[in-house]
Chains A and B, each alone.
Chain A
Amino acid sequence: MTRPWLLLVISALACPAVAWSQNTPDVVKQGEQVFNRRCATGYCHGSRGTTGGAPRLAARGFEQEFIANTVSQGVVGTPMPAFEKTLSPQELAAVVAYVANLNGLASAEMTAGSAGDNPAAGKVAGPALSPEAVRGRDLFSDSVRGFGRCSTCHEVKGIGIAVATPMAKVPADVRALRALATPEVATAKIAGESMPALVVSKGSRSVMFYDLTIPPPVRRTAEPGTVAFAEGSAWKHSSVMGAYDDAELKSVLAYLRAVVKP
């Protein structure tokens, strides 16, 4: 069976982004566990990299550097993800060792190295967060809160929907967060109805804005002349904060203070 994206795997970039430890049996064993969980899933490579919908990985003659690059950076234009963003350096090294093992590479051929040298490690861990900030991070995008969560409108560290402009300043406390001034929210009038609106663009062919009437925000596109904007709005940031109590908001602020750079 020809699989169109099989060929694309071959085109992965050549510069190594991850170093690896020795392919010791322990590491290979750990790699097998990671592989079974993240790569062998029915939709992907199957057990031992021999079955499943994605390309076969066993006995392909892959070299370890190629495997390391592909696993860490993914393959653009295919479903193969860049695992350096979601696996720890140790897990990355282990799964690379396991796939190398599937390709018959013995440990003698391996380049010694330390996972601690991995430049991707910083992306994984990020700055150390306090326990309260970690709690705040989880609350910020807590899926249990549905459309009431912060990440419905704010994107921070790659999580959330970027409706609001990126945060430049974090309110000093919960009271300030509730009272946050939002002068950028205007009032749009379209088809006889007024609504709080965040203007995205005003072009000659179309006007784009977010309708903030109820979360989640709806990005509307209208022809110029069919929508009018007035400065200011009755909309309040506090009206969309009902999913959190004060203690939770305090944690969210602790998180934002740790990660938002002015």
Chain B
Amino acid sequence: MILRTMKVAVVVLFAVVSAQAQEGATRADWPSFGGTPLAWRYTALDQINTANVRNLAPAWIFQTGDYADNLQATPIVIDGVMYVITARDNVFALDAATGRLIWRYAYSMPPPVRPRGFATVVQNRGVAVGNGKVFFGTNDTYLVALDQKTGRELWKVSVDDPKQCGCTIFSAPLVVKDKVIVGGNGSDVAHRGYLTSFYAETGRLAWRWYVVPGPGEPGHETWKGDSWKFGGGSPWTTGSFDPQLNLLYWGTGNPSPDYYDADRIPASHGKDVNLYTDSLVALDPDTGKMRWHYQELHGDFMDFDSAYEVLLMDREIGGRRRKILVHVNKSGITFVLDRETGEYLGAFSLAEEQTWISGIDMNGEIVGPRHPDVGITSTLCPSAAGAKSWNQIAYSPRTGFIYAPVLEICAAVTPNNQGPEEGAFAMNSPVDLKLPPGRTTYSHLDAWDPVTGKRIWSFPYKYILMASVLATAGDLIFTGDPEGDFFALDARTGEKLWRYQTGAGHRGSAVSYAVNGRQYIATPTGWQASMVGAFMAGLFSDQSWRPGSTMVVFALPEGSR
């Protein structure tokens, strides 16, 4: 398809896809949220490949029994045991070869007592496993540690007061050496976002890094008056870690309030505004001190936060091997940076419908923004639900491509200028999702070369693809659709090679692992019945995408490999 609405300027970088270092690939285990802390969502296993994927069949399924919302957690697999968490924070350890229950832990979640912000929404996107423990964040903003072998609770610590902050934790924590680091939701409420690090062994506080700097700290001057106190920026998904550079990478959320910026933009400012919201930051994981930052959008007014996954890879650029990161902003603009320095290398738009700006320039800065005015209804694309949601892209070192599910959805917004009330929603506008005119498909799964900024192929889909992508060394790309199909594409051509109807929509994150030499592909299922899943479903009223909470696991039948 042709880029219809946006003149994408890309710094063309002469690149050679060479044999990649494999440190970002998983093998028998799927040890971390993004596969490894480099977040490729790629397995080096190739037992299941383009030649035999047509034989792929269910090996086992597991019904969690928790139907509060869907199953969206990325399962973690270590030494043949799968760890998965449900919306209400039931944690299961399963035999990854059979689905047999090893232990179960049910978090005692108090009913929401304060009707503010996210406190009444129930979701969980995954556990982290490390240091002999299973860690997870909770709806009421605790971080909990369980014994990995028994599922017994070892410690829990309050990260914030949900009755006041309106915040919550949906994201999977990240284990880095002796610490466990967790972000939280809250940049759509009047709240000041942060990352918090605790010692894995004891649960004691190690450090907290506030996204929005306090008085006397660099960057504080990029906020008007007291707006920093509820400035948002919550890093609400899971970051990445480069053990060689000893740097932690995390994307930050939008400034708060969302669509009304007059009370937070200072009278005079430089390029960066409302730091360190909508930014990629590199932190020292031992101290929480920031090493560098790159703000993707300055003083964002569209809820286009930068909180999504950060893919770390080494690529040949201009004859030189460079350590880069690839990061999709919620607007769909995808940034490529040098991850040692934060230097800008290139940007391109995944989305075809980009009406909120006229383009991006050679330095990755937006051109011609259309700022929605108070009291005036503007229909702009993409929507606050994102050109991509929190479901994650994948990277294959064999092809050198990233694989991204992209949404083509717009929204009518009518900003208001009401002031913040701590912990209450501060989007400052209704968000009425709209289908862009003149299209027959509203999402696509694309292969992009992040170094050249070129789209290699695009797989269109009538409705919306909102599940994570899995890439494999068998040159397969797996994801699922809201109608219930889980399917595999050829990583080099985008051709659909296999599909299986799982009985419920896909809004989770599939993984791959091996037990006793047999490769498995596991996908959580169940359409998200709240929040973004529900808003999106509302656009297609003839559809009835089924919720659910089931792990469905595939393998090649014995004897057919």
On A, residues with C-beta under 8 Å from B are 1-5, 33, 36-38, 40-44, 46-47, 50-54, 74, 76, 78-83, 85-86, 141, 143-144, 146-147, 151-152, 158-161, 206, 211, 213-221
Contacts and interface: CB of A to CB of B under 8 A. Distances in A.
Given A38-B424, A211-B202, 7 more contacts: A33-B418, A43-B121, A53-B531, A143-B192, A146-B208, A152-B158, A161-B158
A86 B424 contact: yes
Contact of B163 (A42, A78, A159): A159
Interface stretch (B174-182, B429-437, B516-524): B429-437
Contacts of B229: 143-144
Interface stretch (B130-138, B274-282, B483-491, B538-546): B538-546
Contact of A42 (B67, B119, B152, B431): B431
A221 B152 contact: yes
Contacts of A50: 432
Interface string B207-246: 0100000100000000000000100000000000000000
B449 to A, nearest CB: 34
B307 interface: no
A86 B164 contact: no
B319 interface: no
Contact of A53 (B122, B202, B303, B532): B532
12 contacts: A41-B425, A42-B429, A53-B534, A81-B114, A86-B114, A144-B214, A152-B158, A159-B164, A216-B158, A220-B155, A220-B202, A221-B155
Contacts, number: 156
Contacts of A214: 204-205
B49 interface: no
B64 interface: no
Given A47-B432, A214-B204, A42 B157 contact: no
Interface of B: 67, 111-116, 119-122, 152-159, 161, 163-165, 188, 191-192, 202-205, 208, 214, 229, 303, 384, 411-412, 414, 416, 418, 422, 424-425, 427-433, 529-535, 537-538, 540-541, 543-545, 547
A213 B203 CA distance: 11
Contacts of B155: 211, 218-221
Contacts of B384: 42
B547 A151 contact: no
Q: Which of A1, A52, A214 has the most CB of B within 10 A?
A: A1
Interface of B is mostly: loop
Contacts of B432: 46-47, 50-52
Contact of B111 (A5, A52, A76, A216): A76
Contacts of A220: 154-155, 202-203
Contacts of B163: 158-159
B390 to A, nearest CB: 14
A47 B411 CA distance: 12
A219 B156 contact: yes
Given A80-B120, A143-B192, A151 B430 contact: no
Contacts of B122: 79
B115 A42 contact: no
Contacts of B537: 1, 3
Contacts of A37: 416, 418, 428
Given A46-B430, A161-B161, A218 B422 contact: no
